[in-house]
A = this chain, B = another copy of it.
Amino acid sequence: MPGFTAWYGLLKIGKPKARETLVVSAATGAVGSVVGQIAKTYGCRVVGIAGGQEKCRYAVEMLGFDACLDRFSPTFAADLAAAAPHGIDISYENAGGEIFESIWPMLNIGARVVVCGLISHYNSPSEAVGPDRLPATLMHILRRRIKVEGFIILDHYAEYFDTFYADMSKWLTDGSIAYREHVTEGIENTAQAFLDMLEGRNFGKAVVRVAADH
């Protein structure tokens, strides 16, 4: 499912073109890591955003991203400007939250924002304290001709899963896509594993092993 999510959001909404710049949050997560790797096969410049230096090193050294920025960096906005010198054409949003402030001013004319997940908002109150950023965001969408589109992957299995499966089988076979799982042992630890995932303590797809492999 995470690979299919990455594939659909990137190809059907993001529509990457060679030499465009893509930014993806939760870059070493199950979705983000695949988004960036597929975008590389399309010739994009890929800038990941992840929590901490270790994840960022993994994104660059193991996943082949062009850059990966630590979202905890005190100079995050400047780091992003340096990593995306030609602006941002595709923002693949897995996180929402504070990094939005840095990404949005850098969106180029015709940019696509793929709203895949907003993990930082899931437990937030529905009304946040002001100022109200919505009017300025809508003006930005108009002036820069930006597309913002949300999706939920369960809608798309019937139409697209077979195409995805063929693409992904090829990429796994030819080595274009690597993946990593964060395994928690024992079903009794599921709740803690879920809480850790929400806090970003996992590294790769968070899975719980409930029985030995066969």
Contacts and interface: CB of A to CB of B under 8 A. Distances in A.
A128 B138 contact: no
B129 A131 contact: yes
8 closest residue pairs by CB, A with B = A130-B130, A142-B150, A141-B150, A127-B131, A147-B149, A128-B132, A133-B134, A148-B148
Interface in A137-157: 137-139, 141-152, 155
Contacts of A173: none
Given A148-B148, A148-B149, A149-B148, A136 B127 contact: yes
16 contacts: A96-B135, A117-B142, A121-B135, A121-B139, A126-B135, A126-B136, A128-B134, A128-B135, A129-B132, A130-B132, A132-B134, A137-B137, A143-B152, A145-B151, A147-B150, A148-B149
A84 interface: no
A172 interface: no
Interface of A: 96, 115-118, 121, 124, 126-139, 141-152, 155
A159 to B, nearest CB: 13
Contacts of A143: 150, 152
A133 B138 contact: no
B148 A141 contact: yes
Contacts of A151: 142, 145
A133 B115 CA distance: 16
A101 to B, nearest CB: 10
Nearest to A122: B139
A131 to B, nearest CB: 4
A132 B141 CA distance: 17
A127 B148 CA distance: 20
